[in-house]
Amino acid sequence: MLNTSVLSLLCQKEMPADLQCIMNRERVKRSEYGYKIDKRLSVTYPVFLDAYGLQSGVRGDEQDMYEFFMLHYTDDSIGMVRSQCIRLSEIKDLAGHKVESRNSLSFDEWRKIQPSADRLNFYNGWFLPTLGQAGQHINLLDIYQKFGADFCAEVHRALGLYILKVNPKTAKIKINAMLVVNGILVEAFENKDQLKYAFGDRLLEVLEKIWIHFMRRNFNRLSEINFFEAVRNLNDFYMGYGFIEGLGYPLHGRLAKMLLSDVIRGKRFY
């Protein structure tokens, strides 16, 4: 089942412009609940179109298909789904989408028409069942977009193993530090091979970016802890699981600060 809160992070398709324009225009008239429905619809409807490879307004029974998708493939409640379906019908009427109903299919018939498995797999996101008591979705979108689906899947699988070895009390801070590291690696390297084999040549650049990120606003003990965790992630996860070629020595926070000594001496990052 697709988690609708995760869809808001992963949806890269936009609501059709004419429908979004109507929602924007009516925003001041909508209640808080109505605004929530519009925000939800602006994500779930493009995801639905993407999953089935459809264009808005082409099929007469598209709204029935959207309802089927929401009820069978997402974790939204029946009430929430119904509210989104009603709102979709309203804005389509206002936009003048008067497609005659043709070849309408029943729910049982729609069951036989499968959405794209690749798109569903993408929209499922990256869930770690062993993170916390109930598990947690983590955002690996930057890794997916820069280094590809296969590399991202490998990172996700390795994270599932890595987190089993982590003290549950420190798991959240490690994952948060790792998400920062992911963003910096994506910014610094063009592809997964460059990441693996050219990391040593750009070590100081990566460490400086991590330092700046955590020390930018204020220098305190928590900033240093986060910096140390990020460096540990490079060593224990990225090098430990073979995504980065080993340096020949263990990389840790204190060593990182020594390597950065000429760069950070006398500087205050804000």
Question: Does residue 206 form part of some domain?
Answer: yes
Question: Do 206 and 258 sit in the same domain of this protein?
Answer: yes
| pLDDT band at 265; cut points 50, 70, 90 | low
Question: Does residue 64 form part of some domain?
Answer: yes
Predicted model pTM:
0.83
Given this model, what pLDDT does residue 262 score? 74
pLDDT digit string, tens, across residues 141-168: 999 999 999 999 999 999 999 998 888 8
Question: Do 242 and 257 sit in the same domain of this protein?
Answer: yes
Question: Do 53 and 141 sit in the same domain of this protein?
Answer: no
Question: Does residue 270 form part of some domain?
Answer: no
Given this model, what pLDDT does residue 223 score? 83
Mean pLDDT lowest for which of 160-169, 174-183, 185-194, 196-205?
Answer: 160-169
Final residue in a domain of this structure, among 120, 139, 160? 120
pLDDT digit string, tens, across residues 24-43: 998 888 899 999 999 999 99
Full residue range of the structural domain in which residue 63 is found: 4-120
pLDDT digit string, tens, across residues 222-263: 888 899 999 999 999 999 999 999 999 999 999 998 998 877
Final residue in a domain of this structure, among 83, 103, 120? 120
| pLDDT band at 107; cut points 50, 70, 90 | low
d(CA 13, CA 119): 12
Given this model, what pLDDT does residue 270 score? 42
d(CA 264, CA 106): 66
On the question of pLDDT at 15 being above 50, the answer is yes
Final residue in a domain of this structure, among 78, 103, 120? 120
CA distances to 37, 52, 158, 253 from 233, rounded to whole Å, are 39, 38, 12, 10
Given this model, what pLDDT does residue 232 score? 94
Question: Do 11 and 114 sit in the same domain of this protein?
Answer: yes
Question: Do 145 and 171 sit in the same domain of this protein?
Answer: yes
Question: Do 195 and 135 sit in the same domain of this protein?
Answer: yes
Average pLDDT for the chain: 88
Given this model, what pLDDT does residue 228 score? 92
Given this model, what pLDDT does residue 172 score? 86
Question: Does residue 269 form part of some domain?
Answer: no
Mean pLDDT, residues 187-204 taken together: 95
Share of the chain above pLDDT 70, in %: 91
Cβ proximity of 119 and 93 under 8 Å: no
Cβ proximity of 167 and 220 under 8 Å: no
Question: Do 106 and 157 sit in the same domain of this protein?
Answer: no
| pLDDT band at 267; cut points 50, 70, 90 | low
Question: Does residue 146 form part of some domain?
Answer: yes
pLDDT digit string, tens, across residues 53-92: 988 877 777 888 899 999 999 999 999 999 999 999 999 9
Question: Do 222 and 109 sit in the same domain of this protein?
Answer: no
Question: Does residue 42 form part of some domain?
Answer: yes
Given this model, what pLDDT does residue 224 score? 85
On the question of pLDDT at 119 being above 90, the answer is yes
Question: Do 158 and 97 sit in the same domain of this protein?
Answer: no
d(CA 66, CA 72): 10
If one counts the domains in the chain, the total is 2
Question: Do 95 and 130 sit in the same domain of this protein?
Answer: no
d(CA 64, CA 21): 23
Question: Do 140 and 22 sit in the same domain of this protein?
Answer: no
Question: Does residue 240 form part of some domain?
Answer: yes
Question: Do 157 and 88 sit in the same domain of this protein?
Answer: no
